[in-house]
Structure 1
């Protein structure tokens, strides 16, 4: 078994090295995005990872898929993908998922708001507004300490910063009501003060990883920080670049971007334990796609220098594309977890597809796509 795994890893490294030399063409970016999106829709309820049954359509896993899918829908040549997303929203009456306070169950709200922007149907966002108003006026007062009572009623794990804060930012942008922004800022700052390592410029997944070492390195989970980095871009997209709130997020974003540039692997991906690439040589495409998205977004926004960060985006995107099968499955997506682990060429997950489509949307723009 080990010899087979070593073969896959060696073959992957060779393919990635070859792909890094390839120039990126907008037409090709769009083609691979469509292939991945179409494959995922066909296999939406299939099992390609370690879970026993399909994810609920409103689960965070699918919510992350929709974040990328709606970016792709805006690029596609017809409304096929918008219709697919709209049908999901209509089927579930535009409700968020089950847990009122839990950030994971807010993720689908990002898709609802983007569909509202296209269709202008108040039904699409009414339940989200009602639930967020309730949370705002009945805020959770639980501790950010891990495994304290009702602890995930607040954003005490870094993944949460992708899931819920962008919904608050979008509501603020839509309505102009600053109460949504103020609530989001207060909670985001609390989480950052708790989980952000100011020396390493990376986030701990949660309190349980603080003070622990893996092969002598601090444990910063790749997808966990990918959630944060992509979340920062999605939040900043909604804010006035001249505002103090934008400035706060940009400071964190730039610190993380600089760190990510330093720790990208020669193959173009980011190791599952960000500071331990020597011990985690297997590529992983969900976190790496989020970093590719976030860095490309920063260049497109004029925040990052293209001469400095452009090569990292090129390496990252070409590495991700090298893990897409001819049918359109994105391989090497780490299964659901909370820490560095393993990934395989024949395992995929919907959130990995969402990350890939997000990355493609910005890479397409970066390389001249219109």
Structure 2
């Protein structure tokens, strides 16, 4: 296959790659290493890679959809891509990526997948798409983008903190800690309703008690892997699974109030996890699918590595992690990811969907890996900025722009017939009738309030 994409102009990025290959930094990062002579790539160089990757992924999705193949849906695979896409749209101008994402949210009717069974209603994977709907709200100001999500989360809340604690977990697999907790934490920040955060907190530490290995400082993927051992008799810790955990931690801490009672536990876990993660970094700057026994499945895996890169860079940027200790591992990781961008700009060497370590292939891609690469790129692009305290303030809510009639009809062709002209005039008149006659709560109700409580509404 062709060589992975790397822009010729990205001089600083190439310097970072050189650092990652130098003998002095070729071993796993240790907490006492310094960052002398480490060159941070410029914001624009990093965002150039991220923009190209995001736009390439959208172009591929559009080509698939035009050919009748499946593009995106309200599933976790798509949700992780949209998390990265919308995060990228806050950092740089990517109109094609933003437009595709917002149109997808509308195409999904801001809803969730599943056949309606209660076990699906509380499924974290099916709630991950809520991040896209929350981001759509901050792009449009339309409260309807949040209503199906709020209904789904409200149904879930009692089960997350059910007492006495049931034998089985709602979030029984570690991937769930990336999918649902950030959505709940962000909903709490948006609405000012602490119930979302409290329920999240209760379930989070139940998962910790069941799956966290206090000797290895890593999470088992699920209960099966607490006792399962490799052919060599060692515990099995899945690379992407740990990426889901620390990436989800970063996203929760992004919006968690500074005075939330258990926040110090999240910060301590984040730091403990980060320290362990850099001790397992490979010579190429990346991580494999089997964290403790990389020789069993040689080679890197990029989706988990991108999640690690994101979380570590986030920790530096927000003062959670020591810059001198963690900057070099982050730059080595970012350079390593760059070497696995395919000629299209899409990230390769991705493990397919699964639940445990398996081999990867250079040409394999995944929407979730593309999303992880985008959030990693956004954070790496900020490494030269001043540290910003947590939580990160929510964006201002834009003034809602809407039409009373949400449909417009087909435009007239250049060679329109008289009949088509008459039909177009009829459609315009009907649309105006909606404007003139339809009761509009935002206009006609003197006591109008938003359909869901919004703590951020005062920022309009």
Deviation of residue 285 (structure 1)? Answer: 0.3
Task: Describe the shift of the 1:166–1:337 C-alpha distance in structure 2 as closer, same or farther (beyond 3 A).
Answer: same
2:222 pairs with 1:206: yes
- Secondary structure at the aligned position of 2:227 is classed as coil
Counterpart in 1 of 2:180?
A: 164
Deviation of residue 79 (structure 1)? Answer: 3.5
Counterpart in 2 of 1:313?
A: 330
Residue among 279, 292, 299 paired with 1:262: 279
2:344 pairs with 1:327: yes
Deviation of residue 57 (structure 1)? Answer: 1.2
Deviation of residue 260 (structure 1)? Answer: 0.7
Q: Distance in 2 between matches of 1:106 and 1:78?
A: 25
RMSD: 2.5
Residue among 289, 308, 319 paired with 1:272: 289
- 5+ long unaligned stretches in structure 1: 9-15, 48-52, 146-150
Deviation of residue 265 (structure 1)? Answer: 0.8
Cα contact 2:40–2:384 (8 A) shared by 1? no
Stretch deviating more after TM superposition (134-143 or 220-229): 134-143
Counterpart in 1 of 2:301?
A: 284
Q: Distance in 1 between matches of 2:72 and 2:61?
A: 11
- Secondary structure at the aligned position of 2:151 is classed as helix
Counterpart in 2 of 1:20?
A: 20
Runs ≥4 in structure 1, deviation > 3 angstroms?
16-19, 53-56, 137-145, 367-370
Counterpart in 2 of 1:50?
A: none
Task: Describe the shift of the 1:234–1:274 C-alpha distance in structure 2 as closer, same or farther (beyond 3 A).
Answer: same
2:54 pairs with 1:37: yes
Deviation of residue 172 (structure 1)? Answer: 0.5
- Secondary structure at the aligned position of 2:293 is classed as coil
Matched residue pairs, number? Answer: 346
Residue among 79, 87, 93 paired with 1:63: 79
Q: Distance in 2 between matches of 1:340 and 1:90?
A: 36
Counterpart in 2 of 1:12?
A: none
Residue among 219, 239, 250 paired with 2:267: 250
Q: Distance in 2 between matches of 1:303 and 1:343?
A: 32
- Secondary structure at the aligned position of 2:204 is classed as helix
Task: Describe the shift of the 1:224–1:144 C-alpha distance in structure 2 as closer, same or farther (beyond 3 A).
Answer: farther
Deviation of residue 42 (structure 1)? Answer: 1.3
Counterpart in 1 of 2:146?
A: 125
Stretch deviating more after TM superposition (113-122 or 65-74): 113-122
Deviation of residue 101 (structure 1)? Answer: 1.2
2:135 pairs with 1:114: yes
- 5+ long unaligned stretches in structure 2: 5-15, 22-38, 115-119, 388-460
2:86 pairs with 1:86: no
Mapping 1:326-365, distance limit 5 Å: 326-365=343-382
Deviation of residue 43 (structure 1)? Answer: 1.4
Q: Distance in 2 between matches of 1:18 and 1:27?
A: 19
Q: Distance in 2 between matches of 1:340 and 1:169?
A: 30
Describe the superposition over 1:164-190 as per-residue Cα deviations: whole angstroms up to 9, x where unpaired.
Answer: 111110110011111111111111111
Deviation of residue 137 (structure 1)? Answer: 4.3
TM-score by length of 2: 0.71
Deviation of residue 343 (structure 1)? Answer: 0.9
